[in-house]
Amino acid sequence: MKNLSNKVALVVGASGGIGSAIVGRLCGEGMKVVMSARNRERLEKTAESLKLAAGSYAILPADGSSFYHVEKLFKDIKKRFKRLDLVIISSGGYESLGLEATLKEASGTFQKLVGTNLVAAFHISYAAAAIMKKQGRGLIKGRGIIINISSHAATKVLHSGLAYGPTKAAARSLMLHLAKELAPHGVRVYDIQPSTVNTPEMSRFIPEGKRDLAVQPEEIAEKVVYLATHDVKEVNQPVIGKLPDF
């Protein structure tokens, strides 16, 4: 097992339910964590609610779907910290889409999820790869680790998932291709695929009284730490709860 103390991590989507759990866990491991999401105020409130120690984190807002935002984000990280050991992409979104919507409505939903679930994952992972493959070795035996928080919808057909499922499947494919490209450079890539997660964003979709059966954000944070501290080969990392699909 590798000690994470003083290593540098970036968590994109840090103000969300999963992202905030990951931030808290990584800071608890002694990492220096860059918190990023679109809204600075939400990031600041998240840091306050987690009671993070001064100096253990930095807030750098960015929209992952914007090339210009991501380019600036990574320039700032490189300038401040000189290296980047771990990147977590937890900025995806969920919207139900069946065949009830008009084409215009469906197109809007689909394009929105392409931006949040696929384009953002591409921008962040590509920019991270450019830094990691050139830097000295750090975590485990490699130069860095990239982890995308995906969904079991990447490999499973779910009800009303005409936009969500395909975008998550595409993001999974991106991680598989990226893992192959980065293997010679000593950079590891993972795609965590949880079933329904009990987050504030998803709680409205979970029947009351059954939220304890869903995957908890802390379980995903624990999985992130495990992947960062162990030499795991498999890119696909499912985390399945006890809640039936709906």
pLDDT value at residue 18: 97
Question: Which position has the higher pLDDT, 204 or 96?
Answer: 96
pLDDT value at residue 44: 97
| Range scoring the smallest mean pLDDT among 74-78, 106-110, 170-174, 208-212 | 208-212
Task: Kindly indicate the confidence band of residue 1, based on its pLDDT and cuts at 50, 70 and 90.
Answer: very low
- Average pLDDT score over the chain: 94
pLDDT value at residue 200: 83
Most confident of 116-125, 194-203, 236-245: 116-125
CA distances from 180 to 52, 88, 152, 156, 188 (A): 36, 18, 21, 23, 9
Q: Is the pLDDT of residue 167 over 60?
A: yes
Percent of the chain with pLDDT over 70: 98
Question: Which position has the higher pLDDT, 207 or 81?
Answer: 81
pLDDT tens figures, 9-57: 999 999 999 999 999 999 999 999 999 999 999 999 999 999 999 999 9
Q: Is the pLDDT of residue 140 over 90?
A: no
Q: DSSP letter for 111, please.
A: H
Task: Kindly indicate the confidence band of residue 246, based on its pLDDT and cuts at 50, 70 and 90.
Answer: low
pLDDT tens figures, 107-139: 999 999 999 999 999 999 999 999 999 998 888
Nearest Cα neighbor of 92 from 180, 220, 227 is 220
Q: Is the pLDDT of residue 2 over 80?
A: no
Question: Which position has the higher pLDDT, 141 or 177?
Answer: 177
pLDDT value at residue 201: 81
> Facing residues of 93 across strands?
none
Task: Kindly indicate the confidence band of residue 244, based on its pLDDT and cuts at 50, 70 and 90.
Answer: confident
Percent of the chain with pLDDT over 90: 85
The enclosing H or E element of 59 equals strand 57-59
226: left (phi over 0), alpha (psi -120 to 50) or beta: alpha
Cβ–Cβ under 8 Å, residues 11 and 22: yes
The enclosing H or E element of 53 equals none
Cβ–Cβ under 8 Å, residues 8 and 81: yes
Distance CA 230, CA 220 (A): 15
Q: H helices of the chain, where? A: 17-28, 40-50, 67-81, 103-113, 120-132, 164-182, 217-229
Q: Length of the chain, please? A: 246
